[in-house]
Amino acid sequence: MAGITEVNNSKENVILRIKKRDGRVVSFGQPKISNAIYKALVATGRADYSMADRLAGDVVRKMIQHGYRSTDSTAIPSVEDVQDMVESILIEEGFSETAKAYILYRHERRKIRDEKMKILNKRDLDDVDKAFDINSLRVLAARYLLRDNTGKIIEGPRQMFERVAILVAIPDILHDSIFFDLSDNHPQDISEAALYYSKTEDFHLKLKIGEYMLNKYHFESLIRAYIYLAEQGHMRLGFRQLLRLVAEGKLSVYEQKIREYYDLMISRDFLPNTPTLMNAGTRLGQLSACFVLEMPDDMYGIMKSSTEAAMIFKSGGGVGINYSDLRPEGDIVASTSGVASGPTSFMRIIDTVTDVVKQGGKRRGANMGILEAWHPDIEKFVTAKTKPGVFENFNVSVGILADFWDSLVGGNNAKYALRNPKSGEIIKQIDPHQLMDLIAFSAWKSAEPGIIFFDNINKYNPCITAKGGPLRATNPCGEQSLYPYESCNLGSINLANFVKRKADGMYEFDWQRYEQAVRLSSRFLDNIIDTNKYPVREIEDNTRLTRRIGLGIMGIADLLFLLGIPYNSKEGYDLMNKLAEAISYYSMEESVAIAKSRGSFPLFGETEYVDGKIPIAGYYDIPKELHSYDWKSLIMKIQKHGIRNSWTTTIAPTGTLSMIADTSNGIEPIFAVVFEKRVTVGRFFYTNRIFENILKLNKLYDDDILTRISNNYGSISGLDDIPTSIQNIFVTAIDIHWTDHLMAQAIWQKWISNAIAKTINMPGDVTVDDVKRAYLLSHELGLKGVTVYRDGSRHEQVLHITGENRIEKRGVTKPSKFVREYVSSSMMVPYVSQQLETVFRESPAQEFADTNVEFETRSTTSHESDPTSRLFDSPSGETCPCCNSRLIITEGCSMCIDCGFSNCASG
């Protein structure tokens, strides 16, 4: 090799250690040099990893020639020494352009390091700081990392994830067979343990599990979890004996369990919901995202629920309430001879409480207000949010029951009765089509209300008898149905992380590692139930009765990009189906395994689980020969051993979590592959990282193409100089027909035990009838709820995802061949089929040999002249309360893509 003399491969001629910038000496790894050189080669159009590896070997040999030997402690190379040598080798070997790219890369990395240190208020960065990108760290610093009384950040990401992992491992310690016995009753002096509540300050950072120190809030949680298990008679040892074993280091084996939870999060394979990251191991200690309260028809109950809502907002959660039990406006109140003011007036109380109480002191609360279709005030409720500024702290949804649906689609022009909830008296009869038209019009105009299909929610609900009735409420984003005073802990697995590169350089999904992550994440969420500090005692009691968890996913769009699969294709839907079935199967199977050693959820014996019923629609609705897993055997295990969690899966909004994980949101397609961000010093483009790599590999990456894509609403559809094969894969939300949005949600819903947060994007020129058809199709596909968002249905211009010379889109999206064939072969209700026939007649099927969207273009600078310029609008043009940026709509939530604010508690 030119310029390199071969050296003896003895132990003295091997570099084993390297000095980091913070002074630490760590193991030396040549692959890191190879990766850095490869990035420089890619930047100059020479993507050859074998070449990068060869050059890295030259770097190491030359460093040894210059005296860097492992046997000489004074000659340990620094990171800067290695980088200087890389530059030298690249120049000597004739790679001058690559050397220039590498120098620019070093300069950029230095800027990034400086920016990260500024964000985190640090002088040095640790490995976790380096692993997270700048946007992720901004979100963590703005909303998650602990601060002192002056607002100064006092922990880094490593410390945050450690405090969460330590807390999550506490139930594993307490369920060790040394302490825990499921079968026998062991009386303990609970008062002895309770005395330690007054001593938490004394035990702050005094006990440790292996290398991990327990702070006073971990210690408090240990007391609380111990007392609960002791009350059930399951603790073999007293609390003092437990403390002695911890102090003597006898439980250091659980250091590995803490490490497992820690690695699960820092790898970003999985992240729990926002309240857990914010509050685990802190004073608040409230870890749940979702709560449902009741709203009885009496003043004491109304005020009680309002107070409880305030406590939930303060602790970091969101609230869902069904207002259908309140008597209608104008009804006579017998106790006072007064007149009832109706449900919407009492929603204003909660709306006001939300305004004045921030979630966890960091963000405004979120609400779901529900009114069922039979309520006499339903029409007023439906139109409540058509005007800007009304119920801004609420998502509102109409609850649909089977009787309404039957009258709507039955074809017999039957009237539908509106009834007084207090007396059951029929107030009036309405045309169900007129009510559905009103709902569709309001959603077309203002993106609200949504619809919740309680008939679909309760179809396979195994707890109806045990809980005394059906589910009637959901959390603020609608994906988590709950009984009154239940809460739920949510978390999401990052699917894009579970790819591995094959020998040919292509990617494949790592199913084995996915299974492992699902199992560990399920235990993580189950443990949260035992360590949670609940804001209301009734919530703790009811949460423990059903032990509901909600494991979901994020990153599906990025996963499909990596695998080269179009989102709205048969291959894409087949993969989603298998991923959805796997997460529910493995989470339920793991829940059975936990039940074997820790016991089933307390209501298990009163539920229909004992009869073999499970809350998985796909088990019943999809032919058994198409199942990928042996569900019959799993049901037999549940009947024999019980199950720890009544429901295990939910797909929640992941807006902020996705920013931390640097991946796409939930099951959504991305909203733009490129968008423009404008700041005081100018403007720059944010590009999806996978798409950016594809552009570079195809030698298409430059500012001109980024500008054109941004001007094309962040989409590459119809851009002639981007190959059709790339256009088919990198589709955005506006490239996908609304029927395919529904299809994707339906594919997941078949296997997800709870529900799904997703936005059904529709172009600005759809009609009210199209919105109505979306509702009809969503119910027949088995969805439990649906949120439709028509471009331009909010009130003001949003975040700029386009430049000044935008392309005016005149073409239309097309339903995929898959969704057309599925609907034509599966829709059994004549009325629904007739309504959908119009959609497919007017929109021929999209074939992937063509582009998704046809374009006519013209230059325009007028926002007013472009009906789609309000794309991804936020409610009433709402700005982010943290940084004043405009909000976008995704997963049914308002979200800020600058700082990560979301009005949904989970993500």
Catalytic residues, by residue number, are: 475, 477, 479
Rounded Cα distance, 51 and 37, in Å = 9
Nearest Cα residue to 272 out of 661, 754, 745? 661
Strand runs labelled E in 693-756: none
Strand partners, 318: 290
How far CA 803 is from CA of 64, 659, 684, 897, in Å, comes to 52, 23, 11, 17
Omega before residue 449 within 30° of 0, cis: yes
Nearest to 22 by CA among 156, 152, 136: 156
Rounded to whole angstroms, how far apart are CA atoms 222 and 212?
14
Q: Residues 645, 586: contact at Cβ < 8 Å?
A: no
Q: What are phi and psi of 879, to 5 degrees?
A: -100, 160
CA distance 517 to 493: 8
Chain-centre distance of CA 440, in angstroms?
Answer: 27
674 DSSP β-pair partners: 687
Backbone angles phi, psi at 20, to 5 degrees: -75, 170
**What three-state secondary structure class fits 553?**
strand
Rounded Cα distance between 520 and 111, Å, is: 37
Torsion, Cα of 156, 159, 165, 167 (10° steps): -120
Report the distance separating Cα 227 and Cα 195, nearest Å: 11
SS (H, E, C) 679-698: ECCEEEEEECHHHHHHHHHC
| CA–CA dist 786, 67 (Å, integer) | 67
**Integer distance in angstroms from the first to the last C-alpha of the chain?**
53
- The strand pair at 338-339 and 332-333 is best described as antiparallel
147 strand-pairing partners: 153
Cα–Cα distance, 553 to 490 (Å, whole number): 10
Q: Say if residues 818 and 568 touch (Cβ distance below 8 Å).
A: yes
Q: Is residue 305 within 8 Å of residue 321, measured between CB atoms?
A: yes
Question: Dihedral of CA 134/135/141/144: which sign?
Answer: negative
Spatial distance between the Cα atoms of 899 and 890, rounded to a whole number of angstroms: 15
Side-chain half-sphere CA neighbours of 694 within 13 A:
23
Q: Please, which residues have CB within 8 angstroms of residue 299's CB and are 6 or more apart in sequence?
A: none
- Mode of pairing for the β-strands spanning 499-501 and 507-509: antiparallel
Query: In 290-347, which ranges are E strands?
Result: 290-293, 318-322, 332-333, 338-339
Measured CA to CA, the distance from residue 191 to residue 176 in angstroms comes to 22
Residue 625: which residues within 8 A CB-CB, separation 6 or more?
Answer: none
- CA-CA distance, 329 to 344, in Å (whole number)? 9
The helices-and-strands tally (H runs, E runs) of the chain is: 33, 28
Whole-number Å distance between alpha carbons of 246 and 166: 14
C-alpha 69, offset from chain centre: 48
- For the chain, give the number of residues: 907
